[in-house]
Chains A and B, each alone.
With several copies, the nearest count.
Chain A
Amino acid sequence: MAAQWRVSNGQREWLVTVDGTSVTVEGVDGEFVVMPRPDGRWSITHADQVSTASAARADQSIWTEMDGAGTEWQAHPASSRARHRVVDDSIRSPMSATVVSVHVTAGSAVAEGDPLVVVEAMKMEMPLRAPSACVVKAVHCQVGELVQPTTVLVELE
């Protein structure tokens, strides 16, 4: 029984129909035949070209690897309403990190590229910059705090 999936790498999304080992991708001619190999990898055949890839499922995503290059994918049933990337006006740390310095307060007017907060992880400093000219609505972190990718550090208007 065929099922439709929306598959995204965070930059682009594809509409994919899966029917057993046969897969079609909207806008692409021909079917992809996806078969497991005895060595735990996968073969994908399309237009007489066979490629080999690895795949693994994480909690919230799927990882694939081909020729040393890995990609993380989000897949949702095409009927689902969930969206993959929520674009909001919040600044978050890209990873678990410590706040090294805070350069703005609520009400600060900033230009595009201005540093808002600097965080440090794995001995590296990373400035988090304003995506565009705007006004800071609220600051939710302080120097020395350990923050997660889910933590909103700064809200913009």
Chain B
Amino acid sequence: MMRRVLIANRGEIALRIIRACREMGIRTVAVYSEADADAPHVMAAHDAVPIGPPAAAASYLNVPAILDAASRTEADAIHPGYGFLSEHAGFARRCEDRGLMFIGPPSPVIERMGSKTAARAAVAQAGVPVVPGNTPKSQEAADVLDSLARVGYPALLKASAGGGGKGMRIVRTEAEAAEAIDAARREADRAFADGTLYVERLIERPRHIEVQVLADGHGSTVHLFERDCTLQRRHQKVIEESPGPTVTPALRERITQAAVAACRAVGYVNAGTIEFLVSGEDFYFLEMNTRLQVEHPVTEAVTGIDLVRAQLLVASGERLPFRQEDLTMRGAAVECRVYAEDPSANFLPQTGLLLRYREPQGPGVRVDAGVREGQEITVHYDPMVAKVITSGETRDIAWARAALALRGFEILGLRHNIPFLLALLGHPDVRAGRIHTRFIEEHLADFTAPAGDDAALAQVALAAVMADAAMSGSASPGRAGETATGIDPWSTFGPVAW
């Protein structure tokens, strides 16, 4: 077993990995940018090493600095989390070259699955259905246009190195094509330093369903059932759940077997996710994520398996401690991603100081977060504040728990998407599972209605009391005797200059 893991990431996923390591008696090394010197993941690790300025390119994507931190702290393994360097084959290879365990698949597998075209070819050969598509003869605009015409409109332009919706554009008519190619290429170039595009047929109103897999280096590959991640905004997942509410036992059998076949075909090792577009009982391979996913906790909730622990075991060369027949799916789980963003302004990311931050808690409620009260949410990184994962005997129970948890989540100091998430959770089509990947886009107005007048008026009164007390420098107008215990809300922040 590895002895010391460097976590090349930040935020909630760094904390998640540090916890798993601590439970296994493995020491942890955090790395951090100048913006994160006081961040919770730095506090939680045994050791912490600064790796550069706030910009991700100069810190969390800074391969030499991270490898240097690993050697200085004598780390023998690196966990890349998700995002950042997690699907960077070159980074994985440099780890391998130095004898560092890279907690993920071997670099050639990352490289192969990182190219959308190579991945499609590999899984198609294994008999997994893929979306009809076309790779342009060259990246000249004319050739891309030609590919679009061959696939037929509506089509989808995608970045070959892409992920997370970056560099992706729907093209409904030839007239839109030129501008879309430019925009997609520019975005892909900036996000992945690779502007290569390819073309797919647009599957209309599909669901996004993905299968979690785990494979060890001893020939065992298992799946951990599916997640439905259809609810997306701007190609980013918002609410994910397991089991998929529309997945029939027959579809589950076929799609999970396809996922395992795809893994075996490419020699996959460690945790991974095969994403599919699903339309009715048909499914098409979309891409493989060769890393831990943001939404892995819903699978952990329904299977009872700790995926990060499994990653650490597999990377250490051990066998998976369970076989396919040991794995069960029980109950239901849902994850709501709390973002610092303004849903009524096209999901514009928000920054600010977390003036008050109190997580919900209770049976069946798990909150994975990497922030704390008093911390600043900056412009430098992803605007996800926390993940609220709830589970229960049935989907209804898990969803009721999610709504209760979100209503009890106190986040003051910046705009966030909790009201939007609550509106989604309560929408009849969402509750019934009658959704597709563009559902949010098409029904946006349903989810961004302002709060009722009563709620607003009560808060107007409260805001005025807060202002009045600041002006008069008074202590609490109510129970004055309680200030000594530190629970007087007035004492939370200093006086304000009006």
By a beta-carbon cutoff of 8 Å, the part of chain A in contact with chain B is 3, 5, 7, 9, 14, 16, 18, 20-21, 23, 25, 28, 32, 34-42, 44, 46, 49, 51, 53-60, 62-73, 75-77, 94-97, 120-126
Indicate if the CB atoms of A71 and B456 lie closer than 8 Å: yes
A46 and B461 in contact, given A36-B478, A55-B466, A126-B348 (Cβ under 8 angstroms): yes
Determine the chain B residues whose CB is within 8 A of the CB of A73 once the complex forms: 459-460, 463
Most chain B CB within a 10 A radius of its CB, from A32, A63, A97? A63
Indicate if the CB atoms of B382 and A40 lie closer than 8 Å: no
- A62 to B374 alpha-carbon distance, docked (Å): 15
Determine the chain B residues whose CB is within 8 A of the CB of A37 once the complex forms: 43
Give 6 pairs: A residue, B residue, CB < 8 Å, sorted on A: A5-B467, A40-B488, A56-B355, A58-B413, A97-B379, A122-B382
- A114 to B466 alpha-carbon distance, docked (Å): 41
- A28 to B350 alpha-carbon distance, docked (Å): 33
Q: Chain B contact residues: over half helix, strand or loop, or mixed?
A: mixed
- A37 to B487 alpha-carbon distance, docked (Å): 9
A70 and B412 in contact, given A23-B464, A42-B489, A46-B457 (Cβ under 8 angstroms): yes
> How far does the Cβ of A120 sit from chain B's closest Cβ, in whole Å?
8
Most chain A CB within a 10 A radius of its CB, from B348, B459, B476? B459
Indicate if the CB atoms of A68 and B406 lie closer than 8 Å: yes
Indicate if the CB atoms of A55 and B38 lie closer than 8 Å: no
> How far does the Cβ of B340 sit from chain A's closest Cβ, in whole Å?
9
Determine the chain B residues whose CB is within 8 A of the CB of A71 once the complex forms: 451, 456, 459
Interface assignment of B345: CB less than 8 Å from any CB of chain A? yes
Indicate if the CB atoms of A40 and B489 lie closer than 8 Å: yes
Which of B349, B350, B414, B466 meets A57, CB within 8 Å?
A: B466
Indicate if the CB atoms of B479 and A36 lie closer than 8 Å: yes
Indicate if the CB atoms of B40 and A65 lie closer than 8 Å: no
Interface assignment of B250: CB less than 8 Å from any CB of chain A? no
- A133 to B413 alpha-carbon distance, docked (Å): 35
Indicate if the CB atoms of A9 and B456 lie closer than 8 Å: yes
> How far does the Cβ of A126 sit from chain B's closest Cβ, in whole Å?
6
Tally of contact residues, B, Cβ under 8 A? 74
A18 and B411 in contact, given A36-B490, A40-B487, A40-B492 (Cβ under 8 angstroms): no
Closest 5 CB pairs of A and B: A75-B467, A56-B355, A38-B38, A32-B461, A73-B463
Indicate if the CB atoms of B345 and A123 lie closer than 8 Å: no
Indicate if the CB atoms of B463 and A7 lie closer than 8 Å: yes
- A9 to B464 alpha-carbon distance, docked (Å): 12
Indicate if the CB atoms of B461 and A16 lie closer than 8 Å: yes
Indicate if the CB atoms of B379 and A56 lie closer than 8 Å: no
Most chain B CB within a 10 A radius of its CB, from A3, A55, A60? A55
Which of B407, B464, B489 meets A18, CB within 8 Å?
A: B464
Interface assignment of B416: CB less than 8 Å from any CB of chain A? yes
- Write the chain A residue with the least CB distance to B355: A56
Determine the chain A residues whose CB is within 8 A of the CB of B38 once the complex forms: 38
Interface assignment of B153: CB less than 8 Å from any CB of chain A? no
- Write the chain A residue with the least CB distance to B350: A95
Interface assignment of B409: CB less than 8 Å from any CB of chain A? yes
- Write the chain B residue with the least CB distance to A6: B464
Determine the chain A residues whose CB is within 8 A of the CB of B461 once the complex forms: 16, 23, 25, 32, 34, 44, 46
A28 and B457 in contact, given A40-B489, A68-B419, A95-B379 (Cβ under 8 angstroms): yes
- A5 to B468 alpha-carbon distance, docked (Å): 8
Indicate if the CB atoms of B379 and A96 lie closer than 8 Å: yes
A64 and B463 in contact, given A49-B454, A55-B489, A56-B355 (Cβ under 8 angstroms): yes
Most chain A CB within a 10 A radius of its CB, from B356, B451, B476? B356
Indicate if the CB atoms of B465 and A21 lie closer than 8 Å: yes
- Write the chain A residue with the least CB distance to B345: A94
> How far does the Cβ of B138 sit from chain A's closest Cβ, in whole Å?
25
> How far does the Cβ of A119 sit from chain B's closest Cβ, in whole Å?
11
- Mark each residue of chain B from 216 to 254: 1 if its CB lies under 8 Å from any CB of chain A, else 0: 000000000000000000100000000000000000000
**Further contacts, 19 of them, CB under 8 A, given A18-B464, A49-B454, A70-B411:** A23-B464, A28-B457, A38-B479, A38-B487, A40-B492, A51-B458, A53-B458, A56-B412, A57-B493, A58-B353, A63-B355, A64-B459, A66-B458, A66-B459, A68-B409, A68-B418, A73-B459, A95-B349, A96-B379
